[in-house]
Amino acid sequence: MAAGPNVPAPTATYRWLKPALWTVMGLMTLSVIRYSEYPIFRQAQEQAYLKTIPFLIVPHAVCGVAAFLIGPFQFSSRLRRRYLKLHRVLGRVYVSSVFIAASLAMVLANHRHQPGGEHFAVATRIQAAAWIITAAAALLTARNRQIQQHREWMVRSYAVTFTFIGTRLLSLLQDWHRLGEAFFAMEIITVTLLAILIPDLALSWRQLTTRRS
């Protein structure tokens, strides 16, 4: 993705807030992997299910992890200034990974034959559509040299990428699994909407709190 040289210098508060936010997100990720995903993948039933769809789950997982890991580097001002070409290459890989992972997520949703599975399929399609749309908007604004809008859409896009973690946080609670697939589907939709709403509020905070003279 393209990026321009005229990027506003971060304020002191922003310099402190940015690493704090990444630290919190990193701890959330480690918690979900350790206490949610790892125990699930050790279950014999889940392993047997995944073995029936390797041609879907492997590229979905690889592309999803690629987008998840590349995203934070795209927000590095130092990387963008010193290695602009690398920034653009990683941006293209990020968008391609999102398109592949999101498209396969829609296909994978149809393979779940469990009570309430239809709710999960609808929620997954909404989540995947939001993922594709925000990544596509980030790509288009970069190509059009609309740098500020590009950065804002990348924030929204990665927030949707991070819903993989956000939708699993509550599953760390022991009683959460008793609520069923339909409730999990509602959680996916809610977290996806919040992933777009919260960045929008953060990006517009100055306009929302500053009165024109």
pTM above 0.85, yes or no: no
CB 80 within 8 A of CB 87: yes
**In 132-149, which positions are buried (b, 16+ CB within 10 angstroms) versus exposed (e)?**
bbbbebbbebbeeeebee
Q: Would you tell me the crossing angle of helices 147-161 and 117-143 to the nearest 10 degrees?
A: 160
pLDDT in tens, 100-155: 999 999 998 877 655 556 888 899 999 999 999 999 999 999 999 999 999 999 99
Question: How distant, in Å, are the alpha carbons of 57, 85, 115, 161, 196 from that of 153?
Answer: 27, 20, 36, 12, 10
- What is the three-class DSSP state of 201? helix
Amino acid at 171: S
Other beta carbons within 10 angstroms of residue 198's beta carbon come to: 13
Please answer whether residues 70 and 89 qualify as being in contact, where contact means their C-beta atoms are separated by less than 8 angstroms: no
Low-confidence ranges of the chain (pLDDT < 70): 1-15, 112-117, 171-180, 213
Task: Give the pLDDT score at 176.
Answer: 60
In a 13 Å sphere around the CA of 48, the CA atoms on its Cβ side amount to 3
Residue with tokens 């990544």: 135
CB 161 within 8 A of CB 98: yes
- Closest listed residue to residue 131, CA positions, set 60, 33, 58: 60
Q: In angstroms, rounded to a whole number, what is the distance separating the alpha carbons of residues 71 and 154? A: 8
Extract the runs of DSSP E, i.e. beta strands, from 164-213: none
**What is the rounded distance in angstroms from the CA atom of residue 71 to the CA atom of residue 66?**
8
Q: Is residue 80 classed exposed, middle or buried when 0-12, 13-18 and 19+ CB atoms within 10 A define those classes?
A: buried
Neighbours of 75 (CB within 10 A): 15
pLDDT of residue 113: 54
Q: What is the pLDDT of residue 137?
A: 97
Residue with tokens 């690493």: 19
Residue 116 confidence (pLDDT):
56
pLDDT at 5: 46
Q: Is residue 127 within 8 Å of residue 105, measured between CB atoms?
A: yes
